[in-house]
Chains A and B, each alone.
Chain A
Amino acid sequence: MSAEQDRRTIRCLVAKVGLDGHDRGAHVIARAFRDAGFEVIYSGLHKAPEEVVQAAVQEDVDVVGISILSGAHDTLVPKIIDGLEEYEAAEDTLVLVGGIVPEEDREELYDLGVAEIFGPGASMAETIEYVRENAPDR
């Protein structure tokens, strides 16, 4: 039927985890994603990894963007990815990390299943383009 369309709307969760209260970047990203035509669910501040997993699963997002500026990425990100695996959601969810991640920690995050890391200086257009191209094909 003509009512069925083939272009899917990309859904993103923009998540702030842990004790880091800096959400300016997350707000800017949420707004930019909206203007790019994505549907954005913003988690709010200070979320536990389980909350992020719950939101990602229930909202069936294509992309989970985790914003961390506190340096706790090495403990928080693995918990989120484990949780996604528990619900069989890891394989077709694009996990991105934004914020401050030292060079030496990056490889570990990629190994865990983080698709890309966007640090300071990453352009918004670049990020949006990356999401468009890499959003999982379901």
Chain B
Amino acid sequence: MSGHESLVDELLAGKHRALARVITRIEDRSPGYRELVSELHGHTGQAEVIGVTGSPGAGKSTLVDKVAKRYRERGETVGVVAIDPASPFSGGAVLGDRIRMASNVGDMDVFFRSMSARGSLGGLSTATTDAVKALDAFGKDKIIVETVGAGQNEVEIVKTADTVAVLVPPASGDDVQMLKAGILEIADVFVVNKADLDGADRTVKELREMVHMRDASPLSGHHGAGDVDQGQADTGAGNDGGGTAREPPIVETVARTGDGVEGFLEALADHSRWLDRTGERETQARKRYAAEIRTLLREDGAALVEAELEARGGLDAYVDAVAARETDPYRVAEEVLAPLADCVRDERPD
């Protein structure tokens, strides 16, 4: 497989091998991967993307397996991206989520892909969003993204998923308190998995109290891609008009046996209908695209500046000059950037 045109054609024609290879190119950021993703973009937008997150051992993989099976029974095709952490020392990883996919063995219409977080924080790999696009373009009806076993702040998933399910293990009462400010804020659906264990009822009750408390707060917002890490005025909580706030349901499951999975699916479908009814789906998609564009601009802008620095002989000479008090960091930045800014101004179409 040489040119990326044929690779895209083969992916669109439904070849599993091509889909797998495209995801590898995206993960490796190998030359030409941007063009690949660009070409795929026009074919996306049909899939429903579901994020599943929660602490390590909460049962994410097992639940995803059961959910995938139910979707398959309804005749829908499924893509799964499961992310595991990479070793901070060797960069290597053991990706173990696949072992839990016992209900879907031999079914190629469940496309399961393990990914290493490759050092990025936030619970996803930087390649995850693009990998989801590849699965979407391939024609998967449902795409499930399973994050790294998450602690408090792994909230990147909201930038990729339409609906986010947060798994909370029973008897994590103290943790519930602790988690309050991070991951629990992004849930569209709460799942108390392992609901057959002691303490499940209490966890459900505590979650319910937490949700009510949040709704009572005058600042209560809702999940959306732009809400994370971007204090833009257009994402403030005040512009909801009260129409889009939504209380996340709390469902109980025993993923191992499949108990409660149907209820979980219903909660997901319910959220999906709500997204359509309120127009929130489109709003979120727009926020996501905006965030994606900003990220790329930031990365590419930084690369451009880096190249310019390189062309000027690197940073060292400037550092020397600053240390010798001949100039200062502000003037250096101005000097390097002024020609770039001039170019941009001259080229700007009116």
For window 47-70 of A, CB contacts with B under 8 Å fall at: 47-48, 50-51, 54-55, 57-60
Chain B residues closer than 8 Å to A55, beta-carbon distance:
98, 112
What is the distance, in angstroms, from B155's C-beta to the closest C-beta of chain A?
Answer: 23
Q: Say whether A37 faces chain B, with CB atoms less than 8 Å apart.
A: yes
Whether the Cβ atoms of A34 and B99 lie closer than 8 Å is no
What is the distance, in angstroms, from A33's C-beta to the closest C-beta of chain B?
Answer: 7
For window 74-110 of B, CB contacts with A under 8 Å fall at: 86-87, 89-96, 98-99, 105-106, 108
Chain B residues closer than 8 Å to A42, beta-carbon distance:
94-96, 98-99
Whether the Cβ atoms of B87 and A58 lie closer than 8 Å is no
What is the distance, in angstroms, from B23's C-beta to the closest C-beta of chain A?
Answer: 7
What is the distance, in angstroms, from B261's C-beta to the closest C-beta of chain A?
Answer: 22
Chain B residues closer than 8 Å to A37, beta-carbon distance:
90-92
Interface stretch (choices A2-10, A71-79, A98-106, A111-119): A2-10
For window 86-127 of A, CB contacts with B under 8 Å fall at: 87-89
Q: Say whether B180 faces chain A, with CB atoms less than 8 Å apart.
A: no
Q: Say whether A137 faces chain B, with CB atoms less than 8 Å apart.
A: no
Closest to A38 in B: B92
A70 to B103, CA, bound (A): 26
Closest to B32 in A: A4
Q: Say whether A82 faces chain B, with CB atoms less than 8 Å apart.
A: no
A34 to B87, CA, bound (A): 8
Q: Say whether A133 faces chain B, with CB atoms less than 8 Å apart.
A: no
What is the distance, in angstroms, from A118's C-beta to the closest C-beta of chain B?
Answer: 19
Chain A residues closer than 8 Å to B321, beta-carbon distance:
none
Whether the Cβ atoms of B92 and A58 lie closer than 8 Å is no
* Number of B residues with CB within 8 Å of any CB on chain A: 39
Whether the Cβ atoms of A57 and B106 lie closer than 8 Å is no
Whether the Cβ atoms of B300 and A1 lie closer than 8 Å is yes
Partner of B94, one of A2, A30, A51, A57: A30
Whether the Cβ atoms of B92 and A40 lie closer than 8 Å is yes
A11 to B27, CA, bound (A): 11
What is the distance, in angstroms, from A5's C-beta to the closest C-beta of chain B?
Answer: 6
Chain A residues closer than 8 Å to B94, beta-carbon distance:
30-31, 34, 40-42
Most buried by A among B23, B29, B95, B116: B95
Q: Say whether B318 faces chain A, with CB atoms less than 8 Å apart.
A: no
Q: Say whether B5 faces chain A, with CB atoms less than 8 Å apart.
A: no
Q: A38-B92, A39-B92, A42-B96 are in contact. Are A58 and B112 (CB under 8 A)?
A: yes
Q: Say whether B33 faces chain A, with CB atoms less than 8 Å apart.
A: yes
Whether the Cβ atoms of B106 and A50 lie closer than 8 Å is yes
What is the distance, in angstroms, from A93's C-beta to the closest C-beta of chain B?
Answer: 10
Chain A residues closer than 8 Å to B299, beta-carbon distance:
1, 3
Q: Say whether A36 faces chain B, with CB atoms less than 8 Å apart.
A: yes
Q: Say whether B34 faces chain A, with CB atoms less than 8 Å apart.
A: yes
Q: A31-B94, A34-B94, A35-B90 are in contact. Are A3 and B105 (CB under 8 A)?
A: no
Chain A residues closer than 8 Å to B27, beta-carbon distance:
9
Closest to B84 in A: A39
Closest to A40 in B: B94
Complex interface bits, B219-261 against A, C-beta within 8 A gives 1, otherwise 0: 0000000000000000000000000000000000000000000
Q: Say whether A21 faces chain B, with CB atoms less than 8 Å apart.
A: no
A60 to B112, CA, bound (A): 11
Complex interface bits, B310-343 against A, C-beta within 8 A gives 1, otherwise 0: 0000000000000000000000000000000000
Most buried by B among A2, A36, A89: A2
Chain B residues closer than 8 Å to A38, beta-carbon distance:
92
A50 to B106, CA, bound (A): 6
CB-based closest 10 A-B pairs:
A60-B20, A34-B92, A44-B99, A37-B92, A60-B24, A2-B303, A37-B90, A37-B91, A51-B105, A4-B29
Measured CB to CB, the residues of A under 8 A from B are: 1-6, 8-9, 11, 30-31, 33-44, 47-48, 50-51, 54-55, 57-60, 87-89, 138
Sampled A-B contacts (27; CB under 8 Å): A1-B299, A1-B300, A1-B303, A3-B29, A3-B299, A4-B29, A4-B33, A5-B29, A9-B91, A11-B24, A34-B93, A36-B92, A37-B92, A39-B93, A40-B94, A43-B99, A44-B99, A47-B105, A50-B105, A54-B106, A54-B108, A57-B16, A58-B108, A59-B20, A60-B17, A60-B21, A60-B23
